Amino acid sequence: MTKGLSRKKVIIPMNTNNAKRVIAQFNMHITNINNLLKGIKLEISADYIHFNNKRIVIITNKVATSSDLNIVKKYIKELNNVNSNDIMSPSVMVLSSKD
């Protein structure tokens, strides 16, 4: 599990219904995202997902690159129970020591 200053956020804006559907099965999605990232030999991993104000927030072990973001976005958009048209481009936020 990622701790302290190394925590990062991948923020994916989407409508509330999509976000709730993703959060409902967050353990499965964390596992699948990590398998995708590991499968292409990336060093980033996702720790957990939570819902926050019309977006999902994925906490990761390091800052995500644009390539990492595209992989996560593609995974989320391909989920059967979400409307892919409502998924916006993800962004990254680095947490300070106060977060």
What are the sequence ranges of the domains in the chain?
A: 4-94
pTM of the predicted protein model = 0.78
Query: And the tokens for 85?
Result: 């048209």
Q: What is the mean pLDDT of residues 79-86?
A: 85
pLDDT score, position 2: 46
In this prediction, what percent of the chain has a pLDDT beyond 90? 18
As its CATH architecture, domain 4-94 has 2-Layer Sandwich (3.30)
Which residues make Cβ contacts (< 8 Å) with residue 59, sequence separation at least 6?
2, 7, 8, 9, 46, 47, 48, 49, 50
Do 92 and 12 meet the contact criterion of CB atoms below 8 Å apart?
Answer: no
